[in-house]
Structure 1
């Protein structure tokens, strides 16, 4: 699948994108903020909780 996503991209750029994806998979973007509470005055909830 990766080959299809990077088809036509220069190799170095494709490698950078793949590295970013690996970092994200490793948790580099797992962040919790207070934004929902700051805006709504209520604690955040999961998507599953929202649906129910």
Structure 2
């Protein structure tokens, strides 16, 4: 479970780097949405992973 949390975190960081850099307005908006979605998924999987220990 912790591996999934780390994978979602890396995806969120990559989405933020591509979208927040100002490449395109549309890409930035999509990347911001994906960033927040993946951060939430990261936190949920992190909590579940820690709870299973």
Please indicate the TM-score interval, normalised by the length of the shorter structure. Answer: 0.3 to 0.5
- Where relative contact order (Cα < 8 A, 6+ residues apart) is larger, the structure is 2
For the pair shown, which has the larger CA radius of gyration, 1 or 2? 1
Q: Tell me which protein shows more helix as a share of its residues.
A: 2
